[in-house]
Amino acid sequence: MSYSDGTRVVHAGLPAKPVVGEPFLPGPVFAAPFHLDPATGPGENDYARTQHPTRRALEAAIGELEGAPTLAFASGQAAITALLLAVLRPGDTVALPADGYFTVRAFAEGTLRELGVSTLLVPTAGPWPDFSGVRLALLETPANPGLDVCDIRAVAALAHEAGALVAVDNTTATPLGQNPLALGADVVVASGTKALTGHSDVLLGYVASGDDALLGKVETWRKQTGAVPGAFDCWLAHRSMATLDLRLARQTANAAAVSAMLAARTDVSGVRWPGLETDPSYPIAAAQMRRIPGVVSFDLGSAERVARFLTAASLVFAATSFGGVHTSADRRAQWGDATPPGFVRLSCGIEDPADLVADLAAALDL
């Protein structure tokens, strides 16, 4: 039977049949080594760096949502770097979003360059180049923090025609917002720290792919580098995923209300939310995405005004990251991101929409 998103996230990764006397969500199992068969050696579990039951349950849950086998990592950055280092070799070229997560670009300009890998930076909204000679194209859509959206199916077709692999960072959208693998991507990477888990209490990343050989390379990299999440983090993440559909619904509603309020003000510029009909990314987002995430970006003109705004707002926490149940915002330029000094990325939480809009408007009026 085919279930809706709300049902899928509640039951994702749980045991196929209830076991009397056992909890709905088993675990967490904290063991690092496990008993081995004296004669045959490893069983289903041997050592936590290579196999672990709590991690497998989480991977099964995410895999059900993304539509492919999944490997969990200690963070989103760990997942992305594992993919890049498992796939790329000296002399290769990787195409990265010029407006995506800045730490990925920094990794490419530092570590990858030192390993002999060239980087091609391309804006998410395009125009996309000829991919001839590109080994891997990494898309991030919606892009963080500018929120541009690219046509995954179209870009994947161009990249595949040139022989390039296509990866999509699905952090901002989550698998309930879009399924890149169904749109032609070869692999999905994401930070589960953000909206997927949504409680601002866990670091997590993952790689998902239906390409067994590709995923096998990434798994070997993970085993040999030890970039695995801990058992309790895996259990927290799995527990939190059950409310993903509910959280996203409220966050999207809040983003719609907040972006409309901001767009109507003359003292706020550059308002971006792909769900706004006036947003440049709206046509692609409306066609490609099942729901729009709760992240809004805008410009207040100066660092000083951003500080006044965040100080005055009662319902907005000044914090980096996004996708949590609490509304938060940060000035991206303070981290070295290539954004204007007054640029703000605001992540809508699950507060009441009217309360949130009123609080933001009052803070902007000061």
User: Could you list the active site residues?
Assistant: 49, 101, 169, 194
* Residue 65 · residue 12 · CB < 8 Å: yes
Alpha helix stretches (DSSP H) within 115-230? 152-161, 212-225
24 Cβ contact partners less than 8 Å away, ≥ 6 residues apart: 14
Closest CA to 134 of 166, 168, 103, 102: 166
Token reading at 218 = 């990434």
Closest CA to 103 of 137, 55, 140, 136: 140
Beta strand extents in 82-164 (DSSP E only): 93-97, 118-122, 136-140
For residue 211, the one-letter residue type is: D
Token reading at 82 = 């594992």
What distance separates the 2 farthest-apart alpha carbons in the chain? 75
Rg (CA), the chain: 21
Q: How far apart are CA 3 and CA 298, in angstroms?
A: 37
* Residue 255 · residue 292 · CB < 8 Å: yes
Alpha helix stretches (DSSP H) within 91-225? 102-107, 113-114, 152-161, 212-225
55 Cβ contact partners less than 8 Å away, ≥ 6 residues apart: 48, 72, 228, 229, 231, 234
For 263, phi then psi, to 5°, come to -65, -25
Q: How far apart are CA 345 and CA 287, in angstroms?
A: 24
Q: Is the peptide bond before 26 cis (omega within 30 degrees of 0)?
A: no
* Residue 268 · residue 238 · CB < 8 Å: no
Token reading at 97 = 């979003």
Cβ neighbours around 23 below 10 Å, total: 9
